[in-house]
Each structure stands twice: as structure tokens, then as C-alpha cells.
Amino acid sequence: MRRAPVPVVLLTLAAVGGAGGCTPWPEYATGGIAERRPPESMALAALQSRYDALVAAGGMRLAGGRMTEASLALVRARREHAAGLHADSERSAAHASGLIVSLERDIRPGRVAARPQPGG
């Protein structure tokens, strides 16, 4: 087996290393362009506002799994809307809305959320 000449190896490493510096890598888990811009749809903005109220009421502590599911449904709806898939966006928004209604019923934003004490 023959080894590649040293200048070829160095040139390849320099090209690969230099290419990584040409474009900035996005930070981990910062979302795509649809998450960075405010939603163009008033319905999606209203859903996001209701979700944010649930977060402020301690929803992630009280129902973390369902809150995450609602968040993912909202992200999906925003991405579909940004891509022009409006019918898909409406379905995803309806799913997110159903989850948010259920969470609002259980968490009741605006009130002090009290967890039941064990054995009480």
C-alpha cells in the first residue's frame, strides 16, 4: 500500500479545514429560519402567545411531556406555514391548539399552580 505524498495530505487538510471557516455553523438547537422570524399568521401568533402563558404558569414543570409535544406541533405549523404548505400548517395548528386547550384546562394559567402533596 502506497502512502500519499505529504504535500497532498497537507493541501487536503488545509482545504477541508479552511472550508469550515467559510460559513458559520449554526448554534446547537437554535431552530431554523421559521423559528427566528415572528409568525406571519395571526392564528399561529395567538397560539404561540397561549403557549408562552402556559410556560409562564409553570407548564414545563407540571406537564413537561405534553408541553414539549405542543411546542413541537407549533414549530411544525410555523415551518409548514413558512414553506407555503398552508393546509398542512392549519392541520398542525389545530393539533397544537387541541393540546394547548387541554393544557390550559389542567394548568389554568394566571392562577397559582399548586401541586398535590404526596399522601395528602
Percent of the chain at pLDDT > 90 equals 42
Cell digits of residue 70: 405542543
Task: Show the cell assigned to 61.
Answer: 414543570
Model pLDDT, residue 20: 54
Nearest CA to 96 out of 107, 85, 104 is that of 104
Regarding pTM above 0.85, the answer is: no
Going from the C-alpha of 34 to that of each of 5, 39, 55, 81, the distances in angstroms are 47, 8, 20, 9
